Every structure is written in C-alpha cells, then in structure tokens.
Amino acid sequence: MFGSISRACLVLGFALSAAVLQAPMSTAGHSQETINLRLGTATPGGGFPVYGAAFIAAIHGADPGLAIVAVNTKGSTENVPLLAAGSLDIALVQGEVVHEALKGVGRPSADLKIISAMYSTPGMFVVRADSPYRTIADLKGKPVAFGAAGSGLVILARYVLDGLGLDQQKDFQAIYLERAGDGPAMVLDGRAAALWGGGSGWPGFMAVARGETGARFIVPDQAEIARILAKHEFLKPLTLPAGSFPGQDHPLKSVGSWSFVLSRPGLDEAVAYRLAKAMHAGEADIAARLPQAAETTARNTASAVVDPAQLHPGVRRYLSEIGLLK
C-alpha cells in the first residue's frame, strides 16, 4: 500500500539538514539527558503541522531535554512507512491509517506503537453557505476536494462513503491536493463544490467558514450513520460541538476515529515513558495553544486505544503508575 521510499526522496521531501537526519537517538539514562526526536506531521495548511507545533512546545515545556524537530511529510500514509523504516521517531497518524497499519489491511501489519491520543476526528464536508448542496447525495457527480493525497482524511472519506454504497472515485469528481491548504480556495472560488475534512478547529474548515459567504457543513444523517457503523465497526459516532467554527451554531453528528502519535519500532522504553509523562504534564499547555488539542490527555490515551497492547510499553508503564491502566 505504501511502497518503497528512497533515501534521496527523504532528503528532498523533508529538506532536513544532514546533521538532523544523522542525529543519534539516545536512550534516556536520566531525566536530564537530551533526546533528539523527529516528528512526522503532514503538508502545510492542514491540521497536523499546526498540532505538531503545539505538541512540540508542550512537550519541551514539560521536559526541555526532549528535543523534537517537526518534519513536513505527505501525511499519515507516508508517516507509517517512514516510521517502519526508522526515518522518523514519532509521527502523527490519522485513525483509519492507524487501523490499517496495526491490523495489516492491504499490507503486513506494522510494528508501531501508540505514544498518545491526539484528538477525535468526525468527518464531514464543508460547502459555501450560498451553495445549493445540503446532503451527501447532493454532492454526487460534483468536484470535491478530498484533501492531500497522503492524508488519512482521504481514507476516512473512503470508508464513510463506502458505508453508504458510494465510491470516492466513481461517484464524485475527486480532487486530491498537493497541499492541504489549497482546498479552501477551491471551494471559495467555485472550482470545488465541497471540501472534505474533520475535527474541531480544522484549518481548512476555518478558512471556508471565515470566507465572505460563510460555510455550511454536510454530515451523514442518523440512518446513514447507522449504515456506515454497521459496515465499518472500527469507526465511532462522534459529535462536533456547536461553535467549533464561525457560524456553526448547533452540534454536528458524524462518524470518525481518534488520531494518534505513533512511534517507530524499537523506540527506547525510557524515551516513550518520558514522552508520556511530559505530555501528561503539558495537557493544559497544549490545550491553551490549540483548542482541539484539549482532547490530548493521558485519560483519553488510555481509553481511545482498541487494545492496551497497542500502547508503547513505556507509555503503558506510565499510565499504569498514574492509575489509568490496570
């Protein structure tokens, strides 16, 4: 599913200095030792780079010895093979991609572990408020920007539409973006009828909602939600609270999943423990930096995983110590 990635592509794609790429990944002998980590995010203009900046700041504030460098990638579907290859230490990964990677959907299962829950992502479409579109059926045959090609949001859309008997490629004029930030402009100027995305405060939705016409959000109705969940049981019913975007004055019910911070194979247990401890200490900090990151808590990490075995052993040890796991 993910294919091979050459060293040359890594260097060009990330634009990292040789010093960063070759930085040794130390083990934590004591709490003051500096640990160099590479965090994979996604393309500029999407939610992952924004979250990544808040995550790094909160972690560093709680444990200055954790030196994390953000790396822009193509998104979740590229982050998984980069983690598997050891080219990243930790990365942000959309829930559907986590599901496929850990369960081995379309490829052998990846030996990756969960460091932290990020936030829940109810998927939905946004259109201009002056458009005629009000249901998912209304968008059939229309040009729809589904997001950056490597984004996990594209995979979420595929599952949601499949649950309704629709095909992303055949039933829509599917547009896949080079940069997540290009989508809102396409909706605002009429090149796309709708933009797919998800999550509270998502930058693409925010840009459309702040446009001259305002925004309307399109979600599955209750019967459609039931159909989707019946076919894809790993998805969850989720609600976007009222006021998550300008002009959104009522809650929006949809389906989606939790996104996670994953680690590469072999990440030292002491390093994962420090990350979990720092993230717990930095919960108020990250929430203040980014509203949707208020969901990044140790309690949500413990409850959002399907199986505690999916957690990194260092994270499990920390969560057990603070009474969130038995």
> Would you state the pLDDT for residue 4?
39
Domain spans in the chain, listed from the N-terminal domain onward: 7-120+258-321, 121-257
Sign for the CA dihedral angle at 36, 42, 46, 48 comes to negative
CATH architecture type of domain 121-257: 3-Layer(aba) Sandwich (3.40)
pLDDT at 30: 42
Q: Helices 152-163 and 222-231: crossing angle, nearest 10°?
A: 100
pLDDT of residue 14: 42
Q: Do domains 7-120+258-321 and 121-257 have the same CATH topology?
A: yes
Residue 259 Cα distances to 92, 98, 118, 288, angstroms = 7, 8, 5, 19
Predicted pLDDT at 306: 85
Please name which of 38, 50, 45 lies closest in space to residue 14, comparing C-alpha atoms.
38
> What's the CA angle centered on 153, arms 275 and 225, to 5 degrees?
110
Query: How many angstroms separate the CA atoms of 2 and 17, rounded?
Result: 25
Give the pLDDT score at 107.
81
Query: Which fold would CATH assign to domain 7-120+258-321?
Result: D-Maltodextrin-Binding Protein; domain 2 (3.40.190)
The tens place of each residue's pLDDT in the chain, 326 residues long, gives 444 333 334 433 444 333 333 343 443 334 468 999 999 999 988 889 999 999 999 999 999 999 999 999 999 999 999 999 999 999 999 999 999 999 998 888 899 999 999 999 999 999 999 999 999 999 999 999 999 888 889 999 999 999 999 999 999 999 999 888 899 999 999 999 999 999 888 999 999 999 999 999 999 999 999 999 999 998 999 999 999 999 999 999 999 999 999 999 999 999 999 999 999 999 999 999 998 899 999 999 999 998 999 999 999 999 999 999 98
